[in-house]
Structure 1
Amino acid sequence: MYLSREEALARDTNRMAILRHLCTNPGTARRALADALDVPLSTIAGLVSGLLEEGWLEKREAPPSGQRGRTPAGLYVQPDRLVLLSAEIRIDRLGVVARTLASESLANDETAHVPGTSALVTAAKLLVRMQARVYSPERRVICIHVRACVGGSEAGLVQQLGELLRGTPLRGVPLRMQGEMHGGQSLPEPVLGAVPARLAAAGHTATAIARDRSASLPAADSLVS
């Protein structure tokens, strides 16, 4: 089904709001979710179906409550099928961490920065290596979140890192650079954004995620060698 730019933007914002709510309120059923987000149940049902099919969510049948009627199934964010990569680039060291959507650490790696080498090239190598380390057929990386203590504009650094990741399994994964890394139990801003309680109307983005969709550059083996 064709969606206009505004409709697609509203759909994505609503999906982010659903995920954000379920991260802090796991087990919420569809009707309660619609009430909490002030969105029609039919809209929530369609969005939830898509999120279930894509692996963002899972549903679990609630135990019998003793009351008449069937207790609706609760919705939960899938804890380990979707992975976030976080990279920290400092003057003397670089580190990469793979986390689940529940902020559980799957693996981490770090290395000293070698003078005379590009910090972004080293970061790209670490990211590709980490992706291979946590790979499974049912997992995919949905966002790369970078804290860079190096010179240059955020947009320029995102573009350079995107170019370095071209031709690798991480090509096209959304990139976000900022001054501080996100922690805690909620999803990082690149994934969920700051969504108001009453869902935003079309035209309001949840977050600015830079994507690199250009044609090829280095091959994957140039980053993992």
Structure 2
Amino acid sequence: MIVAGDQQLLKQINRMALVRQLCSEPGLSRAALAETVGLTKSTVSLLVRELMDEGWLTETELRATGALGRRATPLQLDGSRLALLGADLGIDTARIVATNLLGEVLEERVLPYQDGADATACIAAVGEVLVELSRAGGALAGRTMLGAGIGLHGVVDDATGVLHYAPHLGWRNVDVGSQLRAQFDGTPLAGLPLFIQNEANVAALAELEFAGQSGADPLIYLSIGYGVGAGIIVNGRLMTGQFGFAGEVGHTILQQGGPPCSCGRRGCADALIGLQALVDEVYGKAGVSPAQADRLFEQSAAGEATAARAVEAAGRNLGVLLNNLWVAFDPMCIVLGGAALRLGGRLIEPARRVLDDYASATLLPAPAIRTPHFGLNAIAIGGCAIVRHYLMRPFVAQETARRSPAKSSALAAELATSSWAWS
């Protein structure tokens, strides 16, 4: 749906076009910006002045060009006056960070849950820390908050802020957005943008917005935790699908007639690669827990035979999934993230070998495979990244907001009551 006649939206699109251009090419002058984005020099000068006053942009030292006349003044993003907030509502612990516009971490908190099954209490605890950071001094003193982004380990309707199902937490149909907005009333966060999204999606946006790499689009962030999910970036945009549920690759079939999956089918990626499946295979179906996962990591590192065989097999199946993602999306880069990365090369190297075998057969170079730039904070920093991403793309943000809540909620309700276990 195209909205015509909204002059404020048009102005904001033009403003953010300048900011995005300086993200990819810091140091451009006003004249160079005008030429690059196709706006008049007077319009660019006016918009740049506004963006500098608001803390988005700053000038650097004058640059000699050798040409006659006034020297060009380079512009770049200002990392000193604005702040973004992000949170990762993990399985047993939440991680909350504040970054500047460049993704540099200014403050971080780690918050163990008192009771991970109590969704309301966990969300409230995270909200308290977000409010605390919005009022903090130190590195955040004097900064203007732009908004907050939340990464959730489950099926998220990004248009409504509802978490429909988080299988490893047992949360169903939790309105995370409404709960946090109510908690933000009367605080510096009241009325600011709040974005709720699946954890793999926000982690993918962290790589897009803050990793500083060019030539990595399309990009896929493959999250391997208790289950498997993916965040997919195409043409600088997050691919969320019609209802916001794209990227749930944990239920693509890798092995016909393979081990049963919690979704009711057999041979899914979740049942062959996820930590839940690995722990079940090595220790029996006693249910995965942080302690059981730690035990698997330790025994695999020590070369214990059963654990080593299970991880090797999971790695080979991961290679099949990587090949399928390569064929489907032709990405420049696939980033492997999630808790399973603690298995290190014991998981990743078998996957690389399988992918390289497929690549050799096609005589085509496989996409680059790497780990996240942001370690344990990948999802929390992704929460900050989603704020910057949508603020710099105001029309895309409006498209998301206009997605039909009725259709989205109806489909999500059907999914949440099925046996499908999402990552």
Aligned to 1:135: 140
Partner in structure 2 of residue 200 of structure 1: none
| Residue in structure 1 matching 2:388, options 171, 174, 191 | 191
The answer on 1:91 being equivalent to 2:114 is no
Residue 207, structure 1, aligned to residue 397, structure 2:
yes
CA apart distance, 1:195 = 7.3
The answer for the alignment partner of 2:153 in structure 1 is 149
Write the distance in 2 (CA, Å) between the matches of 1:125 and 1:195: 27
Tell whether the 8 Å contact from 1:83 to 1:141 is kept in structure 2 after alignment.
yes
Aligned pair in 2 of structure 1 residues 194, 174: CA closer, same or farther (>3 Å)?
closer
User: What is the correspondence of 1:7-26 to structure 2 with a 5 Å cutoff?
Assistant: 7-26=7-26
* Equivalent of 1:176 in 189, 192, 195: 195
Q: RMSD of the TM alignment (CA)? A: 2.6
Q: Deviations over 1:69-107 (max 9, x none)?
A: 221111111112111111111231111011111111111
Aligned-residue identity in percent: 28
1:213 — aligned with what? Answer: none
Distance 2:18 2:40 in 1: 13
Larger Rg: 2
- Alignment partner, residue 33 of structure 1: 33
Instruction: Give the deviation of 1:128 after TM superposition.
Output: 1.4
Q: Does the Cα contact within 8 Å between 1:89 and 1:150 map onto a contact in 2?
A: no
Q: Which runs of 5+ in 2 are unaligned?
A: 161-174, 211-384, 402-423
Structure 1: how far apart are the matches of 2:156 and 2:396?
Answer: 25
Is the CA contact (8 Å cut-off) linking 1:79 and 1:100 kept in structure 2? yes
Please, which moves more after superposition, 154-163 or 166-175? 154-163
For the residues of structure 2 that align with 1:189 and 1:108, how far apart are their CA atoms? 17
* Greater relative contact order structure (CA < 8 Å, 6+ sep): 1
Higher deviation after alignment, 51-60 or 111-120: 111-120
1:49 Cα deviation from its structure 2 partner: 1.2
Task: State the partner residue of 1:162.
Answer: 181
User: Does 1:123 pair with 2:126?
Assistant: yes
Misfit runs of 4+, over 6 Å:
none
Query: For 1:111-165, what per-residue CA distance to the aligned partner results, in whole angstroms no more than 9, with x for missing partners?
Result: 111114622101101111222334312x111120110226764414222211111
CA-CA distance at 1:185 after TM superposition = 7.0
Structure with greater helix percent: 2
DSSP 3-state at the match of 1:91: coil
* Alpha-carbon contact 1:16-1:192 (below 8 Å) kept: no
CA distance in 2, matches of 1:192, 1:41: 26
**C-alpha distance in 2, partners of 1:118/1:103?**
29
State how many pairs are aligned.
Answer: 199
TM-score (norm 1): 0.78
TM-score for the superposition, normalised by structure 2: 0.43
